[in-house]
Amino acid sequence: MLLLAQLIVNGVYIGSVYAMLGLSFATIFATTKTWHFAQGAVYSIAAYAILGLGLMPGLPLVVVVLGAAAVAAAAGILCQLALYRPLRARQASPLVVVMGSLGLMVVIENLLALVFGPSGFSLALELPPPLLVAGVVVSPAQLWAPLVALAVTLVFLAFLSRTVLGQQFRALVVDEELLRLNGVETERLKLWAFAIGSAMLAVPAALLMASGAGVSPYIGIPAVLTGAMALFLGGVDSFAGAALGGLAIGVVENVSVWLIPTEWQTAITYALLLLFLMLRPTGLMGRRLRQSAV
């Protein structure tokens, strides 16, 4: 049972990271309907920004994360202005947009590899020693990750319900055309979505780096795939569902090791998630779609 308790602690930690990735992906996709796979490259940029700012003496960790969030937000806005908006202006099909997004991710990752090299870097942080609670080891990153993820999610949900911009976000998820008819500039909202969704990436990047994870040009690929899966699991129209979906993936991924060999960990985890989506295509918190009459 001690092993199970340790796996649950590990799962909650990585699930909190996945929750932030899911919430970030949902913020952009639910509002703009853009398969923003280049978000993986933005995640890598955020991680390198944390690395660069973290090496500056005297900068508190909070300032480092906020600075990286600003860099990621700027990168996300550039993706919208330089790629997605021109493609939509030319009435490109969704498949072309997806391919353009994947191409942009490859280009940015290779540019990062040219600038920083293909090898990884890590950031040495002065953190308190791990705690031993009833025989379970809890590192500072594992202790703070669920609290930070919960705080970010609650702040974002409060933003959606209590601010004009947040309410416009929610309306944009439901019906963009209706917003336009009411005189709302939806392209401005989409820029905000890219900025906020991209800025969130600094949080999971910092949480992973606090546990000793390295930074390389290619860390964004698993990050964006995890964010997309969390979105599907939680429900493509639910921000809270995407965060909950990411948490569920992390917990299942780690607890499954208690029953199966580690080499089957990822395969079994995603098989269970796909089985769940077959039984409930709308996800954990997604809306049930109406079926048209034949």
Residue 290 has pLDDT above 50, yes or no: no
pLDDT band at 226 (very low <50, low <70, confident <90, very high): very high
More confident residue, 86 or 279: 86
pLDDT band at 287 (very low <50, low <70, confident <90, very high): low
Two tokens at 121?
């870097």
- CB distance 229 to 252 below 8 Å: no
Q: How far apart are CA 228 and CA 273, in angstroms?
A: 12
- Name, in order, each residue with C-beta under 8 angstroms of 65's C-beta and a sequence gap of 6 or more: 50, 202, 203, 206
C-alpha dihedral, 79 to 84 to 85 to 86, nearest 10° = 110
Radius of gyration of the chain (CA): 19
Q: How far apart are CA 215 and CA 18, in angstroms?
A: 17
Specify which residues 172 forms β-bridges with.
Answer: none
Residue 140 has pLDDT above 60, yes or no: yes
Give the 3-state secondary structure of residue 138: strand
Sign of CA dihedral 39, 216, 126, 247: positive
For residues 222-236, average pLDDT: 91
For residues 210-218, average pLDDT: 87
